[in-house]
Amino acid sequence: MITGVHAIVFSPEAEKVRAFFKDVLGLSSVDAGGGWLIFALPPAELAVHPTDSGAPRHELYLMCDDIRATLAELRSKGVHVARDVVDQGWGLLAAICLPDGSEFPIYEPRHPSPLSQPGS
């Protein structure tokens, strides 16, 4: 029934952010017309958490296998790390800066993942 997830990053500097995803993160893409790049993403997982505020919200995180190595590689490409690694128990969490100045969280999961357990 569901064949994938289409995530959207909104930015006042969309062209710079697109170039970052393409050139720095190395994500492959197709041009949907007029320079609107649609990026292929690695496999994804989706979690649903309760909220105390009553207001629903959605978050998007990049995932990696080794956060320290990933951050080192990103730093070598000139990426600013906005928040260094913090152990959250369920994973190691950090954040990088996109070219528009916004933060994008990245983490190394420590929780079981359906991606590593086929058929789950």
CB atoms within 10 A of CB 18: 20
Residue 117: its pLDDT value, please?
Answer: 66
pLDDT value, residue 98: 96
CA separation, residue 96 to residues 52, 75, 82, 83 (Å): 27, 9, 5, 7
What distances in angstroms separate CA 101 from CA 11, 16, 104, one per listed residue? Answer: 10, 11, 9
Q: Maximum distance among all alpha carbons in the chain? A: 43
Q: Taking 60 as the threshold, does the pLDDT of residue 18 lie above it? A: yes
Quick check: 99 and 82 in contact, CB under 8 A?
A: no
Over residues 103-107, mean pLDDT: 95
DSSP letter assigned to residue 12: T
For residues 22 and 66, what is the distance between their CA atoms, to the nearest angstrom?
21
46 vs 75, residue with greater confidence = 75
Per-residue pLDDT for 40 more than 80?
yes
As given in the structure block, the two tokens for residue 88 are 């959250």
pLDDT attached to residue 7: 92
Residue 35: the pLDDT is 84
Q: What is the pTM of this model?
A: 0.85
Q: Identify the residue with better confidence: 60 or 4.
A: 60
**What confidence score (pLDDT) does residue 101 get?**
95
Q: Which residues of 69-103 are buried (b: 16+ CB within 10 A; e: fewer)?
A: ebbeebeeeebebbeebeeeeeebbbbbbbbeebe
Q: Is pLDDT at 27 greater than 70 in this prediction?
A: yes
pLDDT band at 51 (very low <50, low <70, confident <90, very high): confident
